[in-house]
A and B are shown apart, each in its own frame.
Chain A
Amino acid sequence: MFSIEVTDLKKSYSGLKAVDGISFKIKQGEVFGLLGPNGAGKTTTIEIMEGLRERDSGDVKILGLDPWKDGYEVHKRIGVIPQDFTFFEKTTPKEAIKYYASLFNVKVDADAILKEVLLDEMEKHVFESLSGGQKQKTGLALSLVNSPEILFLDEPTTGLDPNARRAIWEVIRGLKAKGKTIILTTHYLDEAQQLSDRVAIMDHGHIVAMGTIEEIIEQNGSGERLEIHGDKQLADYIQANTELQVTYDDMKGIITIPLKKKIDMLAALAAAEQSGMKWGEIQTRQDSLDDVFIKLVNDPFGEQIEEEAIEQQQNGNKKGRQ
């Protein structure tokens, strides 16, 4: 059973392709991380799924419904925290929860929700006096009022200090344990690693890799490799006496040998021992998600392009209206 099905989704802003034909499915109860550099199209994708933005083409099904056309129905069954969540300045978290509950016409235990998002001690403070983390938690609390089946969290911890981030992670783990389907965008890789069952890495509107983090590293990483601190002669010796591919880094004095099989390590070490030369520290390494991410995406200025395009489009619309 899929909670979300996205097929060949496209969206451009005045010519710039923000999302360019992406497809994915998200299972019920899954935590799905949407990763990517700023401007990769994550927010556009998540806003289309939330029914906040109209798509140009492609198919999007949220709990079997079209989020743009059936937005009203969809919104009753999903919870959303937008990027930089804000609320009425002079309203307390508890009042906000009761307000949402009345709008959704549901009975909720406001205190229990506040406790769930670890905000119970701030229930009497008005929104504008809360810290960044507490504001995000208020958003999280509000997104839970209608007992949503799916939660959309758009960069829930951006700009928060490490403690506040960890607190939010705790809350998200709790929600995952309750079986909620969660879609999370983030550009913190550790956050994705900590929370997601599966991730998709987006770049320039495309999904460049998708799967569990292990799968992505395996498919896109260079695999395991052996590193030996030694000199050039040793590298040449191993190269000459084994069938291994040996590279040597002059600057660092490190011999690197990719390990196609685990047994390759023994051959390399045996050759090194045989050479009678001196060698230092040895270690095996594997690409981390960071390494893979940097390999897959490369455009540090992406975000500005996307945001400017959105802004331009909106201004253009307005000129058209006036």
Chain B
Amino acid sequence: MVSFRRIYVDFKVFSIGYFRNKFGLFFGLIFPVVLILIFGAIFSGESGPINVYAQNQDTGAFDQNIGNEFLTALNESSTMRVITVDVSENFTDYLAAHSSSEGIIIPPNFTENYLLEQPVNITVYGSPASSTSGIISGTINGYANYFNLQRFNGIMIIGLNSATVNTSQTSYIDFLVPGLIGFAILTNPMFSLVNIAADYKKNKLFRQLSLTPLTKMEWLIAKVLFYIALSLAGFLLMVGVGVFAFGAHITLSLWLIPFLILGPTLFASLGMLVGTVAKNPETAGVIGNIVTFPMMFLSGTFFPMDFMPSYLQTIAHALPLFYVTEGLNNVMVYNNIPNALVDIAVLGIITLVIFVLAVKLFKWREN
């Protein structure tokens, strides 16, 4: 029989001990908030225009220099700032010397060819690895078309109106808040229970407790409840900082509650499991890190999943934390409850399995 009185008593003693430990308090509540402040500050506001080096090799004798006009037009666009490079420089060397892979070369006789209506190419340097290259070539392409049309007195038939749907309005901070809440839900119970399980086993505290009426199930439930409470406090703090310091757009809903309960339950049990199967505290720490760190980075905590190649996204679907962060995003950012329900269901099943395994495998006594 599970006794709620004993669970409460153990919960109370554990909480008091936890809050007497300044490190625990720091990593439990303050650290995630510090992370929000740091990441929020790094990514807050619009990033400025992209610097692009350009060399105009057209030094022809015409009154008009179309190359210069083109570069001026680019410079006036909001996306890039053009830095001209003197013709005497070797352009690729110059780019390398300035740690840049993006640049534009206007060829000699550019103006002449343009005026004579002969095809002429602008060379655009870019790197496939860089996300800004796409923006640059797109912008240059747009201006090239514009100049072509102008030359031939073309009329713009199709223009673009900028508009956004709800989803694309989200800024990085909107995404960061649920991500870091997921981070806290993972790391606090996980690291803590890995340590506790291994330490208590080593210094025989579990045996000590086995001499009292407290059962191992009650003991684990008390830890789970504590980390649910801690996650809830962390959640409120992080949402508060996200909204008030960075103006994050967050939807609060009762659908968040299942994630705040299942998440800590899952990771407390997983930590317990790791600490139980490990031979000693050192091994437990190593296994704990092997389990925790990939999950921490691949589950969409610090950056959105879309940034990752598709095979990594597939791997992410196998990580329990993914369903916490995805679910939190579904509720808080996209307000997409049907998808969140799927996350809750998957999370519920994983949690149940891990919890049962942890209770079964962890032993109070020895044979």
Contacts and interface: CB of A to CB of B under 8 A. Distances in A.
Given A100-B212, A321-B277, A53 B5 contact: no
Nearest to B204: A82
A41 to B, nearest CB: 16
Contacts of B210: 52, 71, 75
A318 B277 contact: yes
A50 B21 CA distance: 33
B6 interface: yes
Contacts of B361: 321
Interface in A50-106: 50-54, 71-72, 75-76, 78, 80, 82, 84-91, 95, 99-100, 102-105
A52 B79 CA distance: 72
B366 A90 contact: no
Nearest to A322: B277
A74 to B, nearest CB: 9
Interface string A129-164: 000000000000000000000000000000000000
B214 interface: yes
A91 B213 contact: no
A99 B367 CA distance: 27
Contacts of B204: 82, 84, 86
B213 A105 contact: yes
A86 B208 contact: yes
B17 A88 contact: yes
A82 to B, nearest CB: 6
B367 A91 contact: no
A315 interface: yes
B207 A318 contact: no
Q: Chain A interface: which size bin?
A: 35 or more
A126 interface: yes
B365 A103 contact: no
B211 interface: yes
Interface in A174-216: none
Contact of B212 (A103, A313, A317, A318): A103
B277 A91 contact: no
A60 to B, nearest CB: 15
A314 interface: yes
Given A52-B366, A103-B214, A318 B279 contact: yes
A57 to B, nearest CB: 14
Interface in A281-322: 313-315, 317-318, 321-322
Interface in B4-22: 5-6, 9-10, 13-14, 16-18, 20-21
Given A76-B213, A85-B208, A53 B365 contact: yes
B205 interface: yes
Contacts of A75: 210-213
Nearest to A310: B366
Given A53-B366, A95-B13, A86 B213 contact: no
Contacts of A322: 277
Interface centre among A52, A78, A105, A318 (most CB of B within 10 A): A52
B17 A102 contact: no
B20 A99 contact: no
Contact of B367 (A53, A90, A95): A53
B213 A104 contact: yes
Contacts of B14: 88
Interface string B198-235: 00000111011011111000000000000000000000
A80 B211 contact: yes
A105 B5 contact: yes
Contact of B20 (A52, A90, A105): A90
Contact of A87 (B207, B208, B279, B365): B208
A88 B207 CA distance: 13
Contacts of A51: 365
B208 A102 contact: no
Contacts of B212: 75, 100, 103-104
Nearest to A78: B211
Contacts of A86: 203-205, 208
Contacts of B18: 90
A209 B213 CA distance: 36
A303 B345 CA distance: 53
A239 B10 CA distance: 75
Given A85-B208, A99-B9, A103-B213, A90 B17 contact: yes
A104 B214 CA distance: 8
Interface in A206-250: none
Contact of B13 (A53, A88, A313, A314): A88
Interface in B319-341: none
Contacts of A52: 207, 210-211, 365-366
Interface in B229-278: 277
B9 A102 contact: yes
A95 B213 contact: no
Interface of A: 50-54, 71-72, 75-76, 78, 80, 82, 84-91, 95, 99-100, 102-105, 126, 313-315, 317-318, 321-322
26 contacts: A52-B207, A52-B211, A53-B365, A53-B366, A53-B367, A72-B213, A75-B210, A78-B211, A82-B204, A82-B208, A87-B208, A90-B17, A90-B18, A95-B13, A95-B16, A99-B13, A102-B6, A102-B9, A103-B6, A103-B9, A105-B213, A126-B20, A313-B367, A315-B279, A318-B279, A321-B277
Interface of B: 5-6, 9-10, 13-14, 16-18, 20-21, 203-205, 207-208, 210-214, 277, 279, 361, 365-367
Given A82-B208, A105-B213, 18 more contacts: A52-B366, A53-B367, A54-B367, A71-B210, A76-B213, A89-B17, A90-B18, A91-B13, A99-B10, A103-B6, A103-B10, A103-B212, A104-B213, A105-B5, A314-B366, A317-B367, A318-B279, A322-B277
Complex A-B, nearest 5 residue pairs according to Cβ-Cβ distance, in ascending order: A90-B17, A102-B9, A90-B20, A86-B203, A103-B212
